[in-house]
């Protein structure tokens, strides 16, 4: 499928999916989220022995940001600009302050 046609076809499929009965949308969305939760829930449970809730959430957000930034650069071929660097630096500063307090 061409790059011009693929987004249109995917958006049509997305809208058709959204018009499906609610029970179908719920089941499909939970099937998609299952594997994320299958990893995240035990990670947070295990991590709660070593980290506070704020520290675990900070770790999750930093990992999400790194994965998304890598995906954007490597797969979408979108360059990161100075504004991204400043934003990432501010998030890193926030992470520093979360972890410097200790338990």
The reply to whether 59 and 101 lie within a common domain is: yes
In degrees rounded to 5, what are phi and psi of residue 99?
-85, -15
The angle that helices 5-18 and 22-47 make with each other, rounded to 10 degrees, is: 100
As a whole number of angstroms, the distance between CA 21 and CA 47 comes to 38
The reply to whether 103 and 87 lie within a common domain is: yes
User: How many domains does one find in the chain?
Assistant: 2
CB contact set of 103 (below 8 Å; sequence gap of 6+):
52
The reply to whether 36 and 70 lie within a common domain is: no
The reply to whether 32 and 74 lie within a common domain is: no
The reply to whether 101 and 64 lie within a common domain is: yes
The reply to whether 8 and 37 lie within a common domain is: yes
pLDDT in tens, the chain (103 residues): 777 787 788 778 877 776 777 788 788 888 888 988 888 888 888 888 888 888 888 888 888 888 889 988 999 999 999 999 999 999 999 999 998 975 5
Tokens coding 68: 């998304």
The reply to whether 72 and 102 lie within a common domain is: yes
Q: Is the CB of residue 14 less than 8 Å from the CB of residue 28?
A: no
Range of the domain at 78: 51-103
pTM score, two decimals? 0.64
């Amino acid at each position: 499928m061409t790059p011009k046609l693929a987004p249109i076809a995917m958006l049509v499929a997305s809208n058709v999916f959204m018009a499906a009965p609610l029970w179908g949308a719920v089941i499909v969305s939970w099937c998609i989220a299952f594997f994320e939760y299958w990893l995240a829930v035990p990670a947070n449970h295990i991590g709660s022995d070593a980290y506070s809730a704020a520290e675990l959430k900070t770790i999750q957000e930093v990992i999400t940001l790194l994965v998304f930034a890598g995906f954007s650069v490597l797969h979408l071929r979108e360059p990161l600009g100075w504004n991204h660097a400043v934003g990432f630096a501010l998030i890193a500063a926030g992470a520093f302050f979360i972890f410097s307090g200790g338990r």
